[in-house]
Structure 1
């Protein structure tokens, strides 16, 4: 990969000027800030669209259709694009394409009164989000050092974690303007992609270890020709991965990385979409919970906010300087998440954590607090920690697959072997990104009958709050 990823050819010299960002921040800080912004922008529209689901379709239309159109095109992008694309990635073109499609999608939603055009706009925004995640995760594999790659992965994960909180907050503030006004304002968000990419993201050469000391030639005759000096530069060979190469790269990723990531997403989105809507309780009469819950409709947004907050915390673990989970322990968050799923299901169905006076068929008390509220809160915290941890640690380890013996060697960066090795790294992390979207899609299909079954079980025991909200 060339030192500058902004779409320049390998024989084009780096930019000569110094931007405001160059002067104000070190390259490592600019790298961190850029990838936080990339992660935030890429996921925030997804969250805004889900938060606005009630306003985007008529009351008689199932809200699950919004979730489906908001995830399926992203899955197509993550699965299909790495398989059909060939050659070296032009990141500047990718970022420009994602920006245009995302902007067009959100404007289509905002300006269209009908359901079908809005679903088309949601599909465009979803496709852009999927391709954007693929692109920026692949970009982290091109960094010149392992430390820089860790910074980028950690920052990206922090940004995507913050998007859940930011997206919900943005729509909460803008929903009074209606779909046209609120989403019209939100349509300006994708325009910050190219601004960040062009003016904040540092050149890779600034992040290289050997930039700390570079000897100066005594005179111009002693200086070696620069590899970026026009006609003296080596031509970049054309290299691509065949379909067989790609399939061979995918196979070793399935069990250690893709399967645990897919399963943990199935578990947490079944919890969020199928179980959490049924975790409603009599309104507390005293204590901290009485300040937060005034009506039964207040429970679900709170469980969602709790989950998103702890996803943000766990996805920021690398950025906070915590060590990554060892590769052989990557399935642990998935296993813990399974027990969270089981416990929440048992609470929704059988009220296992509720005090006797709050357990059906006993009539709902008019005063007091159900201890199960605290238990569900703690389980929601653990759910967020497991989901965020699985995400950030999986992509950290996948991003360093194939690094053994290559990070500090003197291999010619323009050699066929080195170019192919870097393309393999880009493909690995891109292909792994399809696992979380597959999990969300499967969960969306599972969660609808799960919610109905749990609500019916509560009604059968004499608790009909889930049906009356």
Structure 2
């Protein structure tokens, strides 16, 4: 910015920016030479009205990430309490008291499956129809199901009913993730980093709030009731804080041709809008399948990272117990979840500092860590370590998982063509859910095996 521009009042500066914007539109209307998305990546998808609105959208996406994953995280943090309290048993009926493991009758992986399978169904199917449902309707469903999950689990006295409440949390999180990741295509590309950081924040704040409230003396039931403020915050973030562009179909259903009403402006350096061409801008099924095929290089490593990660979290955490610690088994489990989420938060907020292109390196490291801890549980050498050492291992696990997530979607956001970006972001988010689901099915027999050992 030169000295002349620096001395202008803010309104004058934005007036000049508007003139520059119009010049850019005229230049691009005359240009037919570039077919690649490189120029698109260097400029914003939608120009915000002002710097203040851009920062509002950044803050909105951070809060949307926080609220979207909060119920999911809290249910996993409360998994040991849900199963321990409502079964009234600490060992399976077929296990003698001589077992070297302090086990619940039901593995915490049961809570994981209830928390992830509905999300898996949504993510596998939604990319092929979700674009026909306006964003505001989707977000409204997320708000209602998130609030329902806290209420159902809070007042439940039966494991089956509690798991139903966890299912509601899964529906809210899964629908929300595919909705908000698709929504990033209508804004500056850097909102992906803020969304990801917010999801990491959900991990640490969700686990920390549950741990803090229970340590303060609140029962698990009352702790969950306090968290009903989160669905309210989600409502405020989307409907009042976020400033959507005119091209975003918030309440409008698509017309018969498959297109929704859009604003008078088209994305900078993008293709003409539906109104301008008269053609349907939606991708065909074959095009979508081709996009998914091109994304496999990102999706497979991310799935492996999350498989190993949640096999550790829900298959091994409850079996790693330090009996000489001042913390009870349930308190140790909550601490594991909190420290893991702390690592996730740090790494999910790191993409603006450095980016990782080779996601497969993270998957190899996470799988290696899972194998190490599996052997540690089998040979019972982990309790010979100090609890702080175990805490450091768990933080490292979270760092790997968070880095894999944020860098996967950052790479996709940067490499995708403008017309494919919204679908690509939605389709790729099935990767972590698939890995988590498989880990849940594997963790249950592993839990039963270890708890059945004499």
Runs of 4 or more off by more than 6 Å in structure 1?
none
Q: Is the 2:208–2:338 contact (alpha carbons within 8 Å) kept by the matching residues of 1?
A: no
Are the structure 2 counterparts of residues 118 and 342 from structure 1 closer, same or farther at C-alpha, using a change threshold of 3 Å?
closer
Moved more, 99-108 or 386-395: 99-108
In structure 2, the gaps of 5 or more residues are: 1-48, 90-104, 247-262, 266-274
Deviation at 1:448, TM superposition (A): 2.5
How big is each residue's C-alpha offset from its partner over 1:152-208, in whole Å with a ceiling of 9 and x where there is no partner? Answer: 111111111121221123333555554654433323321222321232223448xxx
Report the counterpart of residue 264 of structure 2 in structure 1.
Answer: 227
Report the counterpart of residue 322 of structure 1 in structure 2.
Answer: 353
Aligned with 1:383 (options 387, 393, 397) = 397
Report the counterpart of residue 149 of structure 1 in structure 2.
Answer: 189
Distance between the aligned counterparts of 1:105 and 1:351, measured in 2?
Answer: 37
Deviation at 1:82, TM superposition (A): 1.1
Aligned with 1:81 (options 117, 126, 135) = 126
Aligned with 2:142 (options 90, 95, 98) = 98
Deviation at 1:300, TM superposition (A): 3.3
Alignment of 1:118-157 (within 5 A): 118-143=162-187, 148-150=188-190, 152-157=191-196
Alignment of 1:301-316 (within 5 A): 301-316=334-349
Are the structure 2 counterparts of residues 449 and 118 from structure 1 closer, same or farther at C-alpha, using a change threshold of 3 Å?
closer
Aligned with 1:50 (options 76, 96, 102) = 76
Alignment of 1:183-262 (within 5 A): 183-204=224-245, 227=264, 237-254=279-296, 256-262=297-303
Deviation at 1:298, TM superposition (A): 4.6
Deviation at 1:41, TM superposition (A): 0.4
Report the counterpart of residue 166 of structure 1 in structure 2.
Answer: 205
Q: Is the 2:67–2:231 contact (alpha carbons within 8 Å) kept by the matching residues of 1?
A: yes
Distance between the aligned counterparts of 1:39 and 1:140, measured in 2?
Answer: 12
CA-based RMSD: 3.1
Secondary structure at the aligned position of 1:379 is classed as helix
Secondary structure at the aligned position of 1:393 is classed as helix
Aligned with 1:72 (options 117, 120, 131) = 117
Are the structure 2 counterparts of residues 187 and 400 from structure 1 closer, same or farther at C-alpha, using a change threshold of 3 Å?
same
Report the counterpart of residue 346 of structure 1 in structure 2.
Answer: 375
Secondary structure at the aligned position of 1:141 is classed as helix
Scaled by the length of structure 1, the TM-score of the pair is 0.69
Are the structure 2 counterparts of residues 107 and 236 from structure 1 closer, same or farther at C-alpha, using a change threshold of 3 Å?
farther
Report the counterpart of residue 270 of structure 1 in structure 2.
Answer: 311
Q: Is the 1:140–1:399 contact (alpha carbons within 8 Å) kept by the matching residues of 2?
A: no
Moved more, 174-183 or 73-82: 174-183
Report the counterpart of residue 401 of structure 1 in structure 2.
Answer: 415
In structure 1, the gaps of 5 or more residues are: 1-21, 206-225, 285-292, 359-369, 404-420, 460-469
Q: Is the 2:81–2:330 contact (alpha carbons within 8 Å) kept by the matching residues of 1?
A: no
Deviation at 1:309, TM superposition (A): 0.9
Report the counterpart of residue 360 of structure 2 in structure 1.
Answer: 331
Report the counterpart of residue 62 of structure 2 in structure 1.
Answer: 36
Are the structure 2 counterparts of residues 168 and 236 from structure 1 closer, same or farther at C-alpha, using a change threshold of 3 Å?
farther
Q: Is the 2:211–2:334 contact (alpha carbons within 8 Å) kept by the matching residues of 1?
A: no
Are the structure 2 counterparts of residues 249 and 54 from structure 1 closer, same or farther at C-alpha, using a change threshold of 3 Å?
same
How big is each residue's C-alpha offset from its partner over 1:212-265, in whole Å with a ceiling of 9 and x where there is no partner? Answer: xxxxxxxxxxxxxx937xxxx8587543333222222211212x1111111111
Are the structure 2 counterparts of residues 281 and 92 from structure 1 closer, same or farther at C-alpha, using a change threshold of 3 Å?
closer
Report the counterpart of residue 415 of structure 1 in structure 2.
Answer: none
Are the structure 2 counterparts of residues 203 and 36 from structure 1 closer, same or farther at C-alpha, using a change threshold of 3 Å?
same
Q: Is the 1:77–1:130 contact (alpha carbons within 8 Å) kept by the matching residues of 2?
A: yes
Distance between the aligned counterparts of 2:377 and 2:349, measured in 1?
Answer: 31
Q: Is the 1:105–1:121 contact (alpha carbons within 8 Å) kept by the matching residues of 2?
A: yes
Secondary structure at the aligned position of 2:315 is classed as helix
Scaled by the length of structure 2, the TM-score of the pair is 0.71
Q: Is the 2:193–2:349 contact (alpha carbons within 8 Å) kept by the matching residues of 1?
A: yes
Deviation at 1:371, TM superposition (A): 4.3
Secondary structure at the aligned position of 2:415 is classed as coil
User: Does 1:26 find its partner at 2:52?
Assistant: yes
Deviation at 1:70, TM superposition (A): 1.3
Q: Is the 1:76–1:127 contact (alpha carbons within 8 Å) kept by the matching residues of 2?
A: no
Distance between the aligned counterparts of 1:442 and 1:269, measured in 2?
Answer: 9
Secondary structure at the aligned position of 2:186 is classed as coil
Distance between the aligned counterparts of 2:230 and 2:311, measured in 1?
Answer: 29
Report the counterpart of residue 446 of structure 1 in structure 2.
Answer: 442
Deviation at 1:351, TM superposition (A): 5.3
Q: Is the 2:207–2:334 contact (alpha carbons within 8 Å) kept by the matching residues of 1?
A: no
Are the structure 2 counterparts of residues 444 and 192 from structure 1 closer, same or farther at C-alpha, using a change threshold of 3 Å?
same
Secondary structure at the aligned position of 2:302 is classed as helix
Distance between the aligned counterparts of 1:178 and 1:261, measured in 2?
Answer: 36
Report the counterpart of residue 465 of structure 1 in structure 2.
Answer: none
Q: Is the 2:122–2:175 contact (alpha carbons within 8 Å) kept by the matching residues of 1?
A: yes
How big is each residue's C-alpha offset from its partner over 1:6-46, in whole Å with a ceiling of 9 and x where there is no partner? Answer: xxxxxxxxxxxxxxxx99x8233222211111111011111
